[in-house]
Amino acid sequence: MVNNETKAHEFAKKQREISIAEFFEKNRHLLGFDNKRKALLTTIKEAVDNSLDACDEAGILPEVIVEVIDMQNDRFKVIVEDNGPGIVKSQIPKIFAKLLYGSKFHKLSQSRGQQGIGISAAVLYGQLTTGKPVKITSKISPSQPAHYYELMIDTKNNKPYIIKEETVDWKKPHGTKVEIDLEGSYQKGDQSIDQYLKQTAVVNPHVTLIYTSPKAEQFVFARATNKLPVHPKEIKPHPYGVELGMLLRMLHDTEARTLQSFLTNEFSRIGAGTAKQICENAALLPSTKPKAVTREMAEKLMEGIKKTKIIAPPTDCLSPIGAEALEKGLKKEISAEFFTAVTRPPSVYRGNPFIIEAGIAYGGQQNSDSQAKLLRFANRVPLLYQQSACAITKSVITTSWRKYGLQQSSNSLPIGPVTIAVHIASVWVPFTSESKEAIAHYPEIIKEIKLALQECGRKLSVYIHKKRRIFAESKKRSYIETYIPHVAQALKELLSLKEKDKEKTEQLLKEILEKHRGELEKIIVNNPDFDEELALEGETNE
Ligand SMILES: Nc1ncnc2c1ncn2[C@@H]1O[C@H](COP(=O)(O)OP(=O)(O)OP(=O)(O)O)[C@@H](O)[C@H]1O
Ligand SMILES: [Mg+2]
């Protein structure tokens, strides 16, 4: 029998650090690269989301050019070019060829990316499937040359490996161009690049996208507004969302000298008075040195925070689309007859502020026998995969749509000619995985989504009921119309009228019937907002 000690030494030889790049090389499905079709979409999504983030943050109206070239045998070349602020030369290698490197992870403000892994993951996948480097061109000012790089990831060390580096001429005043070769598969349909770009246009009316598909078709999604979204401010964490481990780390890292100044400096919504109150509720001295706070004391501090009334986090860190713009976006891309949208007031989960928005497009060319089409968005990014795992889906299927005039079997999407769009804007979107495809089931988030859906649902119900009434009215009218000649004939016989008077009576009856035709239709169809509140009351009283 081999002795234990020898075995332990044998194990020790095999035990070593695993780099994050090696980890994701094996687990690329966690980042959204589990099949060829999805890999192509994810690559484009990571590059486009970065371009839009960079433009929004720099206050530039984004114009993004996306080109996907079919290189045959399941190989594609993806080129994404933006007019953003560009990237400083020394940062280019790390951004594109080092996983977990970025500017968004450590700050609390709304952006599309948050993890610092997106674009380097796409580069890793491309390199794994084609062995080719990523090519980047970036320029930060008209007075400076553009920098060109060809990079690969040294996966063992999660470090950039520079294949080529040079300055080049580039006509653009500033911007970034990324070129990735990868194995993929291109298909149209619900989870396609085309859908992702179309839905991006719906929730980003300030963006222009120019897209050339692998079939060499060109699509232009032109911006509908020149107004940039409100720039979201960066915030500090709210005390109600902090967890013990995080609090201990913050106490260790802070430059504040007292507990009181630590609380006011490192958290949002804590002034001197509230800080004193927290210390009192925690039975700790406000003058305690943060570095002297032990684990037990930190637990007391957590209790103190819980016991103290602190106002909700500020919401200028969020930049919702806005009900009007969301409705406009839906109108632009969906052919329907009735549109409505709402923006909910801000709310909080685990200390993170968020806002839910919802919109509905009903009728028109949409199929009335199939399930509603659900469009999910997080920080203005369309989510195309993992629909059933998402808190948005859960909220939609647990909302009772029958009372709003749609059919629905239990635990399913409603049935009818309807598209439902839901957007969550947050400083930290709680995705269920690194591939950012589905929202985690936080009760606070589900509750807000349902409230937004109910608001839209009530407006939809007014429209559907009126429409049904118009239909019933017109059915009744044509039924009566067929009897008019018989009634006139009967009256002629009963009252011994002359043929001329009979005709007159017939004409008169027709006129009475025609007098109000289309009046309801005119009011409702051409003006769905007509007396909505009043009509709504009428509906609920019925
Ligand atoms: N086109 C671009 N223009 C300017 N800066 C960019 C561009 N693309 C990426 N960056 C910078 O590179 C960083 C890393 O990008 P990456 O996509 O890897 O992570 P992220 O966007 O921060 O988060 P996520 O992993 O959620 O996408 C970004 O945080 C941003 O600072
Ligand atoms: Mg990103």
- Ligand 1, atom 20, lies closest to the CA of 116
SS (H, E, C) 66-78: EEEEECCCCEEEE
C-alpha–C-alpha distance, residues 457 and 193, integer Å:
30
Q: Tell me which of 539 and 361 has the higher pLDDT.
A: 361
Please determine, for residue 539, whether its predicted confidence score (pLDDT) is greater than 50.
Answer: no
| Residue 532 confidence (pLDDT) above 50 | no
Identify which of 31, 42, 44, 50 to mutate to test ligand 1's pocket (most ligand atoms within 8 A of the CB). 50
Give 38 Cα–ligand 2 centroid separation in angstroms.
16
- Report d(CA 46, CA 161) in Å as an integer: 21
Beta strand residue intervals within 227-298, DSSP E: none
Q: What is the mean pLDDT of the chain?
A: 92
Nearest to 152 by CA among 133, 135, 171, 167: 133
Give all strands (DSSP E) within 94-207, no chain letters: 134-139, 146-154, 159-168, 175-183
Q: Is 182 in the pocket of ligand 1 (CB under 6 A)?
A: no
Pocket flag, ligand 1, residue 84 (CB < 6 Å)? yes
- Token pair 């992702």: residue: 196
Are the C-beta atoms of 386 and 34 separated by less than 8 Å?
A: no
Single-letter amino acid code for the residue at 355: I
Single-letter residue type at 422: V
Q: Is 168 helix (H, G, I), strand (E, B) or coil?
A: strand
* For range 380-389, the mean pLDDT: 96
Mutate to test the pocket of ligand 1, among 90, 119, 125, 153 (most ligand atoms within 8 A of CB): 119
Average pLDDT over residues 224-228: 90
Mutate to test the pocket of ligand 1, among 88, 95, 136 (most ligand atoms within 8 A of CB): 95
Strand partners, 383: 376
87 lines ligand 1 (CB under 6 A): yes
Beta bridge partners of 161: 152
Residue 224: band (very low, low, confident or very high) from pLDDT cuts 50, 70, 90: confident
Give the mean pLDDT of 59-77: 98
